[in-house]
Amino acid sequence: MNNRYIHRRRFLKASAFALGGYTVTSLDVLRSWANQSEPIDAIVIGSGFGGAVAALRLAQAGVQTLVLERGRRWTLTEEQNTFSSLRAPDSRSFWLNSSSVPLLGVFKPAAIDDCTGVLEVLGENGIGVLAGAGVGGGSLVYSAATYEPTRANFDRVFQGSISYDEMAEVYYPRVRSILKPSPIPEDILASDYYRLTRITLEQAANAGLPGKLLDMNLDWDVVRQEISGERVPSAIVGEFLYGNNSGCKNSLDRNYLLQAEQSGFVQILPLHVVTDIYEMSEHRYAVFCNQIDEGGNVLQKRTFTSKHVFLAAGSMGTSKLLVKAKAKGTLPKLNDAVGKFWGGNGDTLGLRVGLPPTNPSQGGPLSAVIEDHANPIAPTALQPYPKWNETRQDYLYSLGFSIGSAKGSFQFDPFTNSVRLTWPIYDPEIIQLRQATLKTYQKLNQANTNSTYQPKTARVLDEITLHPLGGAVLGKVCDFYGRVKGYKGLYVVDGAMIPGYTACANPSLTIAALAERCIERIIADDFV
Ligand SMILES: Cc1cc2nc3c(=O)[nH]c(=O)nc-3n(C[C@H](O)[C@H](O)[C@H](O)COP(=O)(O)OP(=O)(O)OC[C@H]3O[C@@H](n4cnc5c(N)ncnc54)[C@H](O)[C@@H]3O)c2cc1C
């Protein structure tokens, strides 16, 4: 492929067409706006795991690519004060109309104005959903666990439609080669900060359950410097949700996206919220967005066009854009599977009490997992996490996953011009996942009961997920390489392509590896 590099400023000037003061109301308006903008080789919507993989691989193929990202760029400062702390959330913490997350001990102070903070909290029908917002997407706020599912669990979700061998031999290693995740080193594990990890592994062993250290996308040398006082305490005191100021987290802006931008082929536009996608003639698409300021005020409306548009706005963002496009007739040929087969990865937030002293407010973001894949109800996994404000030493919090039915679906509301997710939280199949997790807790409690300690399960909640997945699923809305059916040149490369569950594991590694698999085929077939 020829390198088609043009100077960045000229590239943007040529490709953006600014329009002020209009509201997107009808197809006619969209059509006339679209015809006034200049084309770009490829547009990527969103800069999380799927978007970052797509951007880098397109850049390496010499494809001039524009990344439209709704959130800000979060550059780490020398002063180590880029993000707000969990202890004192401020306008940097929450994305626009987000709310508090009492289940995580996170409360949005009433005094904070709506702003373009790094964490989005969505109150949907039946479930709350958390997601990242900013250049790097979920990697800015995530706990950095980089966890590969087992073959049996992967096949349970993908039913043989994606080869596990291919993922394990090619695509998981490809992602690892860029992120370079590693488990907690022994000296850090031995520190008092990570007592909760050691107790978790001991308790798993007592219960005869496999327990192991997780590969973490962290710079452990920086964590060591947090412990020695050379860097601000961040991971060690349970920070992750609003970002990590010490620089311990290898977020995507420091690897995939950095390399993509350094190539000269990728331009990232932060604070650009995509609102609509419209098919013009001959498989050319117009992407409409609002350029906003940090307070969320619209500065101008912009339109970009391309023959290749990659949706990577996360499961929630991508599903909402597609459901809206189908309902409003801007992408009328989308099939009826759009906005369906959504799940929250079987996420639970659990609390056990009555344990030996765990030091429960420290030692994050995550570090170990207990696997109960032989659970008779459904496979489960538990990962202990610190709750920064917990003072009860006998407490241990864990994030749980499972595998079940992807029964969530998105609906368009013409009166509000918006899309909402409905999750059937009282469906017996969904309740079963909570039962599966309770069973694992029961096993742990029984095996660790002695004359000194009698652990009990205080609660297991499933009303919130950190892992939205599905809505534009492979083999249904797209083919098995993310190509949207009926729309040549339109692709989905993020968590929306996965049917509700990443096989009893945290999703980022699987999303990135599937994106690697999709983009490799798309570049080979569609960019010749
Ligand atoms: C608190 C928390 C902890 C987590 N911990 C882990 C963990 O330890 N390990 C793990 O594997 N996973 C973890 N996750 C989940 C992980 O972050 C997500 O699964 C992953 O980021 C999803 O990748 P994605 O590419 O689908 O979308 P995202 O990474 O969510 O990226 C989507 C991007 O699109 C942007 N966007 C959305 N809508 C628009 C729009 N309309 N216009 C323009 N841009 C838009 C967003 O701002 C975002 O940058 C965690 C998530 C949270 C919230």
Q: How far is the CA of 376 from the centre of ligand 1 (A)?
A: 31
- Is residue 462's pLDDT more than 50? yes
Tell me the HSE value of 220 on the side-chain side, using a 13 A CA sphere. 15
- Is residue 6's pLDDT more than 80? no
- Is residue 20's pLDDT more than 50? no
pLDDT digits 0-9 by tens, 390-401: 999 999 999 999
- Which pLDDT does position 39 carry in this prediction? 76
Around Cβ 18, how many Cβ atoms within 10 Å?
Answer: 11
The architecture in CATH of the region 182-240+347-402+426-461 reads: 2-Layer Sandwich (3.30)
- Which pLDDT does position 100 carry in this prediction? 66
- Which pLDDT does position 114 carry in this prediction? 81
Provide ipTM, 2 decimals.
1.00
Give 421's pLDDT tier (boundaries 50, 70, 90): very high
- Is residue 8's pLDDT more than 90? no
- Which pLDDT does position 18 carry in this prediction? 35
Q: How far is the CA of 28 from the centre of ligand 1 (A)?
A: 33
Q: How far is the CA of 507 from the centre of ligand 1 (A)?
A: 10
The predicted model gives 501-520 an average pLDDT of 98
Q: Whose CA is nearest to atom 50 of ligand 1?
A: 142
- Which pLDDT does position 262 carry in this prediction? 97
Ligand 1 pocket: which of 216, 241, 506 to mutate (most atoms within 8 A of CB): 506
Q: How far is the CA of 285 from the centre of ligand 1 (A)?
A: 24
- Which pLDDT does position 112 carry in this prediction? 72
- Which pLDDT does position 512 carry in this prediction? 99
Pocket of ligand 1 (CB under 6 A): 45-51, 68-71, 130-134, 137-138, 141-145, 241, 273-274, 312-315, 317, 366, 466-467, 494-495, 506-509, 511
Atom of ligand 1 nearest to the CA of 496: 26
- Residue 365's contacts (CB-CB under 8 Å, 6 or more residues apart) are 142, 143, 144, 145, 216, 218, 235, 238, 239, 240, 244, 249, 385, 386
Dihedral of CA atoms 423, 428, 431, 432 in degrees, nearest 10, equals: -130
Q: Whose CA is nearest to atom 48 of ligand 1?
A: 137
Higher pLDDT, 3 or 481: 481
pLDDT digits 0-9 by tens, 198-254: 999 999 999 999 999 999 999 999 999 999 999 999 999 999 999 999 999 999 999
- Is residue 140's pLDDT more than 60? yes
Over the chain, what is the mean pLDDT? 92
Q: How far is the CA of 46 from the centre of ligand 1 (A)?
A: 9
The predicted model gives 492-517 an average pLDDT of 98
- Residue 233's contacts (CB-CB under 8 Å, 6 or more residues apart) are 226, 239, 246
Atom of ligand 1 nearest to the CA of 509: 11
Q: How far is the CA of 82 from the centre of ligand 1 (A)?
A: 19
The region, left, alpha or beta by phi > 0 then psi within -120 to 50, assigned to residue 177 is alpha
Q: Whose CA is nearest to atom 31 of ligand 1?
A: 48
Give 5's pLDDT tier (boundaries 50, 70, 90): very low
Give the C-alpha separation, 50 to 237, whole Å: 29
The predicted model gives 313-330 an average pLDDT of 98
Around Cβ 360, how many Cβ atoms within 10 Å?
Answer: 26
Atom of ligand 1 nearest to the CA of 133: 47
pLDDT digits 0-9 by tens, 325-346: 999 999 999 999 999 999 999 9
Pairing label, strands 368-372, 65-68: unpaired
Q: Whose CA is nearest to atom 37 of ligand 1?
A: 313
Give the C-alpha separation, 494 to 316, whole Å: 10
Query: b or e along 304-334 (b: 16 or more beta carbons within 10 Å of the residue's beta carbon)?
Result: bbbbbbbbbbbbbbbbbbbbbbbbbebbeeb
- Which pLDDT does position 13 carry in this prediction? 39
Q: Extract the tokens encoding 368.
A: 């170990």
Q: Whose CA is nearest to atom 11 of ligand 1?
A: 508
The predicted model gives 394-417 an average pLDDT of 96
Query: b or e along 422-443 (b: 16 or more beta carbons within 10 Å of the residue's beta carbon)?
Result: bbbbeeeebebbbebbbbbbeb
The predicted model gives 429-449 an average pLDDT of 97
Q: Whose CA is nearest to atom 39 of ligand 1?
A: 313
pLDDT digits 0-9 by tens, 70-100: 999 999 999 999 999 998 999 999 999 777 6
Atom of ligand 1 nearest to the CA of 46: 34
Q: What SS3 class is residue 113?
A: coil
Q: How far is the CA of 54 from the centre of ligand 1 (A)?
A: 15
The domain spans of the chain are 1-177+250-343+407-422+463-528, 182-240+347-402+426-461
Q: How far is the CA of 27 from the centre of ligand 1 (A)?
A: 30
Q: How far is the CA of 132 from the centre of ligand 1 (A)?
A: 5
Q: How far is the CA of 118 from the centre of ligand 1 (A)?
A: 11
Ligand 1 pocket: which of 73, 139, 142, 276 to mutate (most atoms within 8 A of CB): 142
Q: How far is the CA of 128 from the centre of ligand 1 (A)?
A: 14
Q: How far is the CA of 326 from the centre of ligand 1 (A)?
A: 23
Considering all CA atoms of the chain, what is the largest pairwise distance in Å, rounded to the nearest integer?
76
Q: Whose CA is nearest to atom 41 of ligand 1?
A: 274
- Is residue 37's pLDDT more than 80? no
Q: How far is the CA of 138 from the centre of ligand 1 (A)?
A: 3
Residues 343, 469 contacting (CB under 8 angstroms): yes
What percentage of the chain exceeds 90 in pLDDT? 87
- Is residue 273's pLDDT more than 70? yes
Atom of ligand 1 nearest to the CA of 50: 25
Q: What is the CATH number of domain 1-177+250-343+407-422+463-528?
A: 3.50.50.60
Q: How far lies 206's CA from each of 211, 277, 355, 376, 443, in Å? A: 10, 54, 13, 19, 10
Q: How far is the CA of 139 from the centre of ligand 1 (A)?
A: 6
Ligand 1 pocket: which of 465, 508, 517 to mutate (most atoms within 8 A of CB): 508
The predicted model gives 282-305 an average pLDDT of 94
Q: How far lies 111's CA from each of 82, 114, 126, 248, 517, in Å? A: 20, 10, 27, 30, 45
Tell me the HSE value of 190 on the side-chain side, using a 13 A CA sphere. 3
Q: Whose CA is nearest to atom 3 of ligand 1?
A: 142
Q: How far lies 347's CA from each of 128, 169, 295, 436, 462, in Å? A: 11, 28, 32, 11, 6
